[in-house]
A and B are shown apart, each in its own frame.
Chain A
C-alpha cells in the first residue's frame, strides 16, 4: 500500500511517500495510525496525537474507523488550511 504524507506530517516523518506491507491485524485507518506510530521515533513524533491527523483513502476523506480494504493510496495530513 502506498502512503503519502503532507505538511508537518511529511516533515516529521522525513519523507513524502512510501510503500508499506500492512500486518493483517491492521484493517482501519485508525489502526494504521497506531501501527505506524510504533515504527520509529519520527513516526511517533508525527503521529503523537492521532486524533488530529486527517486520513484520505484513495483521495477521499474518511473517518478513522473506515476500513482500508486494500486501498491503493492512503494519505495522512494535518487539518487543512486552504483558502
Chain B
C-alpha cells in the first residue's frame, strides 16, 4: 500500500534534524504536514555523565523497518524516517529521531507517536547509566507506562 520505503538507520553518529527534514521533503509539493520527534539524553540534574546504548545489530534494523512499514500501511504517509543511535551518548545529545510526513497533520502526528511507542519497548535497545561521580551505573528498567502506551495502538486496531 505504501509507495515508499521507510528510511531506517541505526548508527553511532549524531544526526541533523533540519537536514533530515530537508532530505525528506526536498522537491515535494504533495506533503502538507511534517511531524518530527527527537529524543535526547537527560543529565538527571547532574547525576549522569552518559548513557550507554546497546543494541542487537540486524534485529534492530529489521524490527524498526517492520513496524515502520505497518505505520505506512495504517496511515496515509508520504515519508517516514527513523534514526536510532547506539553507543555512548552524553546529556544534551540526540538519541532518536522520527519524522513522519503526510498530506495532513493527523496522520503525521499519529504515525510518529505510534513508531515512538514501539521504539520505547519493542526495539532491541538497552540503556545503561554512567554516573557522573564515577560509581557504576545500572541498566534502566522498562516502564509499565511504555507498555501501556503501546497497548493503546493494539486496542485501536482491534476496535
Tell which of A18-26, A43-51, A74-82 binds the partner: A74-82
Asked if A83 contacts B116 (CB within 8 A), the reply is yes
Asked if A7 contacts B120 (CB within 8 A), the reply is no
How far apart sit A61 and B121, CA to CA, in the bound complex (Å)?
A: 12
Asked if B124 contacts A77 (CB within 8 A), the reply is yes
Number of A-B residue pairs having CB atoms within 8 Å of each other in the complex: 75
Asked if B142 contacts A56 (CB within 8 A), the reply is no
How far apart sit A4 and B95, CA to CA, in the bound complex (Å)?
A: 24
How far apart sit A75 and B122, CA to CA, in the bound complex (Å)?
A: 14
Main secondary structure of the interface of B (DSSP, over half): mixed
Total interface residues on A, using CB and 8 Å? 17
Asked if A82 contacts B139 (CB within 8 A), the reply is no
* B140: Cβ under 8 A from any A Cβ: yes
CB of A59 to closest CB in B, whole Å: 4
Q: Which residues of B contact A59 (CB under 8 A)?
A: 56, 58-59, 62
CB of B15 to closest CB in A, whole Å: 15
CB of A82 to closest CB in B, whole Å: 3
Tell which of B22-30, B68-76, B103-111, B125-133 binds the partner: B125-133
* B77: Cβ under 8 A from any A Cβ: no
Besides A79-B142, A81-B120, A81-B126, 20 more A-B contacts (Cβ < 8 Å) are A4-B56, A7-B126, A7-B139, A56-B56, A59-B62, A75-B59, A77-B56, A77-B124, A78-B142, A79-B141, A80-B121, A80-B124, A81-B121, A81-B125, A81-B142, A82-B84, A82-B96, A82-B119, A82-B127, A83-B146
